[in-house]
Structure 1
Amino acid sequence: MANSTALNSDHTSMPAQTPIGWRDSSNHYGRISRALHWLTAALVTLQFTVVLAWRGMGENAITLLLASIGPHGSLGFMLLIVTLARLGWAWINRKQRPPCPPGLGGRIARLVHITFYGLLLWLPALAILRQYGRGGTLRFYGMELLPEAKRDITWMIAPAELLHGPLSWLLCGLVIGHIAMALVHRFWFKDKVLERMMGSRDR
């Protein structure tokens, strides 16, 4: 009887886990924020995988397959839509999201996230503006969104020609740094920053 009581006591002392809700909370991001976050991560990863594969191997069966799975323009358009959705959802949940850590680290994290959002908006926007300025067809997985036209609007083309490449590599560097810091928080600081986006919620 004593052993049974002790086992029951140990069981009840463990923190109960409740499912993550749809909305954000002060401790965790909800299902929608998590889905949008990991969808963004998948799209960015596929985008750079296709680009680096083409640069490294040129045209072959593998790169053609990757390009068919993730056409550069289509992925960019999807990233623009997903980023707009993330911004809208962040605004809706602005009063109940996990706060940034205090101090300099928190200010840097906030600046990095703002830069992320800016790049994820401006990179596809600049590419679409360039495509329109050139009169080229804009397609989304074969569906024509913008028909071909005869035009050459320099002020639309020039910004993308100048900035699209450097800003893309800046985004790549931020992604690598973001992953590295997430691992540092998990294995070095041993805090619960990573669990906000991945872990379950304590009751």
Structure 2
Amino acid sequence: MSHPAPTGYSLAQITLHWIIAAIVFFQLAFGESMAHAIKAREEGGTPAGADGALASAHYWLGIAVLALVALRLALRVARGVPAPVDEGLTGKLAAGMHHLFYLLLVAAPVTGLLGFYAGEPWGGVHTVAKPLFIVLILGHAGAALFHAFWLHDGTLRRMLVPQRG
């Protein structure tokens, strides 16, 4: 028996979205510390205090992203998601963007771990995630703001206010 699609996101889905977003922003802002720490170790030295601490945070937060994305995908399967506001081209673009986000949210930590433990080419592949994330985030945020302030269709509100029930 299939259930109708929800009209909004649950508190758990919204919370996971924003926690993952915050972690991704942290990773983008401070991820270079991992490269500095690896370089220092390759040269036989010790990473500077801040680089060492931020590299460790980068490592563990990457693993956290994998776990949180797995939970988010499980909730998505179990509960469903609201139907797109537009079933046309913009709805298809939104679905494509969300699929790319999920792919990148899994691929970035996996390639980061492979780069850390197996070396190249995985480290190089992992570095491509940063500009891809930036492009996706700008597109995603731009679309959310367009829906909120131009179309006034409630799309952004669905990720801010949980559906009751």
Please, what TM-score do these two structures have when normalized by structure 1? 0.64
Q: Partners in 1 of 2:126 and 2:143 — Cα distance? A: 26
Is the contact between residue 50 and residue 70 of structure 1 (CA under 8 Å) also seen in structure 2? no
Is the contact between residue 119 and residue 167 of structure 1 (CA under 8 Å) also seen in structure 2? yes
Moved over 4 A (4+): 52-55, 65-70, 200-203
Would you say 1:103 and 2:65 are equivalent positions?
no
Is the contact between residue 13 and residue 75 of structure 2 (CA under 8 Å) also seen in structure 1? yes
CA pair 102-25 structure 1, distance change in 2 beyond 3 A: closer
1:119 to 62, 83, 104: 104
Q: Deviations over 1:19-42 (max 9, x none)?
A: xxxxx9622101110111011111
**Which 10-residue stretch deviates more, 43-52 or 99-108?**
43-52
1:176 — aligned with what? 138
Instruction: Read off the aligned partner of 1:88 and give its amino acid letter.
Output: A
Unaligned 5+ runs, structure 2: 36-48
Q: Partners in 2 of 1:200 and 1:160 — Cα distance? A: 38
Aligned-residue offset at 1:117: 0.2
1:193 — aligned with what? 155
**Paired residues for 1:1-203 under 5 Å:** 26-51=6-31, 64=50, 67-68=53-54, 71-94=57-80, 97-100=81-84, 101-133=86-118, 157-199=119-161
- SS of equivalent to 1:71: helix
Which structure has the bigger radius of gyration? 1
Instruction: Read off the aligned partner of 1:31 and give its amino acid letter.
Output: L
Query: If each structure's strand is expressed as a fraction of its own residues, which one has the higher value?
Result: 1
Aligned-residue offset at 1:51: 3.4
CA pair 39-202 structure 1, distance change in 2 beyond 3 A: closer
State percent identity of aligned pairs: 29
- SS of equivalent to 2:155: coil
2:44 — aligned with what? none
Aligned-residue offset at 1:192: 0.5
Is the contact between residue 112 and residue 126 of structure 2 (CA under 8 Å) also seen in structure 1? yes
Instruction: Read off the aligned partner of 1:121 and give its amino acid letter.
Output: V
Q: Deviations over 1:65-101 (max 9, x none)?
A: 995597211111111111111111111113xx20122
- SS of equivalent to 2:101: helix
Unaligned 5+ runs, structure 1: 1-23, 56-62, 134-156
Please, what TM-score do these two structures have when normalized by structure 2? 0.77
Of the two structures, which has the highest relative contact order with CA contacts closer than 8 Å and spacing of 6 or more?
2
